[in-house]
Amino acid sequence: MESTLPTADFMGFESLLSPAESAKLADVRDFLDKEVAPAAEDWWNRAEFPIDVLPKLAALNLSTPVQQGYSYLFGGMVIAEMTRADTSLATFFMVHHDLFVEALHEFGSEDQKARLLQDAMDLKITGAFALTEPLHGSDVAGGLATTATRDGDSWILNGAKRWIGNGTFCDYMLLWARDTADGSIRGFILDATLPGVTRTRIENKIALRTVQNADIVLDGVRVPEADRFAGINTFADTRTLLRGSRILVGWQAVGQQLAAFDVARRYAVERHQFGRPIAGFQLVQDQLVRMLGNTTASLGMMARVAQLQEDGGGDMPQAALAKAYTTARMRETVALGRGILGGNGITTDFRMAKIFADAEAIYTYEGSYEINTLIVGRAITGLSAIN
């Protein structure tokens, strides 16, 4: 019966893709259905990252899709579909490709690109994005405490980073530090195996358990000048990357809702109580329709943001509104879905508990709901409530 029901893309936004993009998205779904979805709960339960999946993921040839000529809408839908199958794998993809690899495209020197770009695109090497610090998250723009001191043809890095996705196993990090000479912001391609780099996995997480977040300590780490991003000189360069990443987190919120709707509807159609499927009860149908409405509204907003990006727009306030709105709708959607599953909604055996828990990470990272709200508030009033 389920195969004859409408998809969660109730308004048909996927039809806006080109035929080639639709075919490629079908390939992505096939890969996710075969290689990711069947094992995602087990990876999550064990808090282990599936390194063996990376060559197969690389074979899709989807690194920084816009750089390869795909539309922003397609790039967003790829993230949504990955999240629909496994939020953790989607987060890995975003950190590596849309932050680290995109930084090589955007800010790397010709030498840096020649040395690293193709291997990074092919996932022969992996990258991380090291900006957040133990005492500075939302205020990291002004509070960045990690330092970089020039010493001849190299730089000495000292400080600490926290919540660094891929941090335990990555080969390189795009690491941000403040120049002790003039206070400017510098970006470095940090070889994660250098002396003085300590990486410790963050334990006891209730969300994105597959993602290997790390605490990073830098103690007199010497990095050659050749590994400084020559194109990065101010925090505004960071915003260029974070704006794109923030938009993709909005697409993750879409994917999380697609997953919640898929699981909840399937369960409601198959689960019988009082002699019939619970999908036949009015209150359950109301919950499913609210979930679908939230998902569709979020898809519509993100599709419009993708159009703005194609036209050279999609600035930070718009990205902030999209991230805040879609993640707020997501939180409601996954809660409704968890409720439909009743007691079975709190075990990963039925998928919904993982979806519900992972939503909390999406709600928080790439700017909390409150910070993104204040960014939009400043844009529409001309007055800052942040400082």
Asked whether the predicted pLDDT for residue 192 surpasses 90, the reply is: yes
Quote the percentage of the chain above a pLDDT of 70.
99
* pLDDT computed for residue 380 by the predictor: 94
Asked whether the predicted pLDDT for residue 238 surpasses 80, the reply is: no
Q: Does residue 331 contact residue 359 with C-beta atoms inside 8 Å?
A: yes
Q: How much is the pTM?
A: 0.95
CA distance 239 to 230: 16
* pLDDT computed for residue 175 by the predictor: 96
What are the pLDDT digits (tens) for 328-383?
999 999 999 999 999 999 999 999 999 999 999 999 998 899 999 999 999 999 99
Q: With the C-alpha atoms ordered 26, 355, 174, 177, is the resulting torsion angle positive or negative? A: positive
Residue for token digits 């994005």? 129
Quote the percentage of the chain above a pLDDT of 90.
90
From the candidate CATH numbers 3.40.640.10, 3.40.50.970, 3.30.479.10, 1.20.140.10, the one assigned to the domain spanning 236-381 = 1.20.140.10
Q: Which helix (H) or strand (E) holds 277?
A: strand 276-277
* pLDDT computed for residue 300 by the predictor: 97
Asked whether the domain spanning 236-381 has the same topology as the one spanning 2-121, the reply is no
What are the pLDDT digits (tens) for 60-110?
999 999 999 999 999 999 999 999 999 999 999 999 999 999 999 999 999
Q: Mean pLDDT across the chain, nearest whole number? A: 95
Q: How many helices (H) and strands (E) does the chain have?
A: 14, 9
Asked whether the predicted pLDDT for residue 237 surpasses 80, the reply is: no
Give the CATH fold of the 127-234 domain: Butyryl-CoA Dehydrogenase, subunit A; domain 2 (2.40.110)
Q: 141 falls in which pLDDT band (50, 70, 90)?
A: confident
From the candidate CATH numbers 3.30.70.270, 3.30.70.260, 1.10.150.120, 1.10.540.10, the one assigned to the domain spanning 2-121 = 1.10.540.10
**Sequence-ordered alpha helix ranges (H) in 144-234:** none
Q: 2 falls in which pLDDT band (50, 70, 90)?
A: low
Asked whether the predicted pLDDT for residue 1 surpasses 60, the reply is: no
> Which 3 state secondary structure label does DSSP give 364?
helix
Assign 3-class secondary structure to 304-357.
HHHHHHHCCCCCHHHHHHHHHHHHHHHHHHHHHHHHHCHHHHHCHHHCHHHHHH
Average pLDDT over residues 254-261: 98
* pLDDT computed for residue 372 by the predictor: 93
The least confident of 153-157, 233-237, 285-289 is 233-237
Domain ranges for the chain, please list them.
Answer: 2-121, 127-234, 236-381
